[in-house]
Structure 1
Amino acid sequence: MATTSPCMMASERREVFTYEEDRVNYPYYFPQAEDLQKSHQAFRVQLPSSDSNTHDNDFKDARYYRTFHRDLKYILKRTDLRAHKYTFVTQDHDSGREITHSVLWDYETGHVRISPMFKSSEFDALRKKNTPRRCVTRNGLNDCYASITGGNIEAQGFWIPYLAAKAICSRFCYSIRDALSPIFGNDFPALCERERAKILSDGKGYGSEETLQIENSVVEAVKAKQAVVEWQIYFEEGTMRTGRQEKLPPIENAWKQYLTTCKGLWVPPRLSYPEPPLNQQEADIQAASILMALKYGDPEPEWPIFQNA
């Protein structure tokens, strides 16, 4: 059973996993190819700028949403959402009337409001109100999302980590793939095509809930990152979510898992999938180095000797 006995006192901790305040880590992706630009016109995609730079990390169109969701601090490391937003238009599959969908994501942490993707789906089963929750549960991410139900209606819905959101949406958003490129990148339409072909070749029904199961490597990367965030909050504030003490791995294991499954995931922050994992020896060395930095600060002569055995 996992324990929560810290390997260091809170006063000894050192910040090594932080979101740089008000930095745009997850920017807009503006279309460059002519065919994608035309598709945006068809969906009436409303972006806040006509800037053609694909990765414009300096551009910010911030919207701030205050919320009193009790667990949001443990998901985002703060209690407000700092969001980018754009809209696109589809036709209602029953009435034929036009519906405008708002896409929002936290530009610092990358958490995505995934509800609009399901609501705009062409598949009846996926448009049901409780489908996002079932999808999160199916992928074992119950401790990694926030469900916002009060406050500004724009912010209401399920907010899940960017890595998981892109992987899930690539499994069922083929018909709106071009409309989601501003958030998920100009490679997203091609990713959707590959995922759709893979699902059909496996003989599964595209658009069914069973096809929303994403790769285990993505799930493990998201969970490892979440564990590290919660440990840092514990060291900073001495608080932890109710019921999490027996679920979180010890800090040593959390860091090792993070390094093994998420190498390169945070820098650059919008990497779609984890890079090939570190081998176990490299993971041990890096985990030990980070733990030493947490406990003793920057490398100094008084560091305990740690050598590659």
Structure 2
Amino acid sequence: PTPKREKLPKDAAVFTKAEFRGEVLFWPQEAGPDEKLAAAHRKFELNPMGHIADYCRHIPYKSDKKTFVAKTGRDSFEVFQYTFKLPWQEPDENGKIPEHVVMWDYNVGLVRITPFFKCFKYPKTMPAKCISQNPGLSDLVHSITGGSIVAQGYWVPYKAAKAIAATFCYEIRHALTPVFGPDFVNQCIPPGSPNFQNFKINPAIV
């Protein structure tokens, strides 16, 4: 019998070499010569390690909700993406450890933060609660519910996304340096700190 073709999840990352569209203002920040950081990336099975910029992706945005187009004047996301795995995560029923997709728009710096919450198995309502705790932030955030499944979720401006992630992503801090930069490692609030998981960011960022 013909072996069953493995079905890719609809929100899986797709890696195809492509040309940039528009100006690249938010480049991936790879480990480079930093062997300690590179070792951390290998531990998280980061992919495509060292070549994130080679695989940009164009994701058209189609939805009945036109707020994204109205607010940004754009009808697509131009993204860099990569995946990582949690070293401590148990395999699923197929014996595979799930991949987590990191994605950001390299033109305007919007970062899809929903996967960060999924890493820690927060309820689906948590990203919205987190955003509501920071006055004014909801006006800058895009909640994508239609169109491509891979783009669905909350997209947050770069500086705010980095600050929010620093409040709860300590355990995956090394896996997020390609999007947020190597200084993110030291910006993350450690567990046990009074501000850990409070999701509040400096109002000046907003």
TM-score range (shorter-chain normalised) is 0.7 to 0.9
After superposing on structure 2, the runs of 4+ consecutive aligned residues of structure 1 that deviate more than 3 Å are 48-51
- Which of the residues 195, 201, 205 maps onto 1:214? 201
| CA shift in 2, pair 1:110/1:75, >3 Å | farther
Q: Does 1:135 align with 2:125?
A: no
Letter in 2 for 1:90: L
Aligned mates of 1:206, 1:27 — CA distance in 2? 28
Letter in 2 for 1:115: T
Q: Contact between 1:87 and 1:101, CA under 8 Å: does it hold in 2?
A: yes
Q: Contact between 1:92 and 1:99, CA under 8 Å: does it hold in 2?
A: no
| Structure 2 stretches lacking a partner, 5+ long | 1-20
Q: Contact between 1:48 and 1:61, CA under 8 Å: does it hold in 2?
A: no
Q: What does 1:50-129 align with in structure 2 at a 5 Å threshold? A: 50=51, 59=53, 61-67=55-61, 68=63, 69-90=65-86, 97=92, 98-121=97-120, 127-129=122-124
TM-score by length of 1: 0.53
- Which of the residues 119, 139, 146 maps onto 2:142? 146
Letter in 1 for 2:119: S
2:43 partner SS? helix
| Structure 1 stretches lacking a partner, 5+ long | 1-20, 52-58, 220-309
| CA shift in 2, pair 1:206/1:115, >3 Å | same
Aligned mates of 1:170, 1:187 — CA distance in 2? 11
Aligned mates of 2:39, 2:160 — CA distance in 1? 28
2:22 partner SS? coil
Letter in 2 for 1:64: H
Aligned mates of 1:157, 1:218 — CA distance in 2? 21
Kindly indicate which of the two structures has a greater share of residues assigned to helix.
1
Instruction: Return the offset for 1:78.
Output: 0.8
Partner in structure 1 of residue 23 of structure 2: 23
User: Cα deviations across residues 110-148 of structure 1 (Å, max 9, x unaligned)?
Assistant: 000000111112xx5xx1101001111111211111111
Q: Does 1:176 align with 2:177?
A: no
Instruction: Return the offset for 1:50.
Output: 4.2
Q: Contact between 1:146 and 1:158, CA under 8 Å: does it hold in 2?
A: yes
% identical aligned pairs:
34
Aligned mates of 1:135, 1:205 — CA distance in 2? 13
Aligned mates of 1:164, 1:34 — CA distance in 2? 29
Q: Contact between 1:25 and 1:108, CA under 8 Å: does it hold in 2?
A: yes
Partner in structure 1 of residue 3 of structure 2: none
TM-score by length of 2: 0.78
2:139 partner SS? coil
Q: Contact between 1:27 and 1:107, CA under 8 Å: does it hold in 2?
A: yes
1:31 partner SS? coil
1:39 partner SS? helix
Instruction: Return the offset for 1:48.
Output: 6.2
Letter in 1 for 2:100: H
Q: Does 1:43 align with 2:30?
A: no
Output the aligned Cα RMSD: 2.2
Aligned mates of 2:55, 2:119 — CA distance in 1? 24
Letter in 1 for 2:204: S
Instruction: Return the offset for 1:77.
Output: 2.7
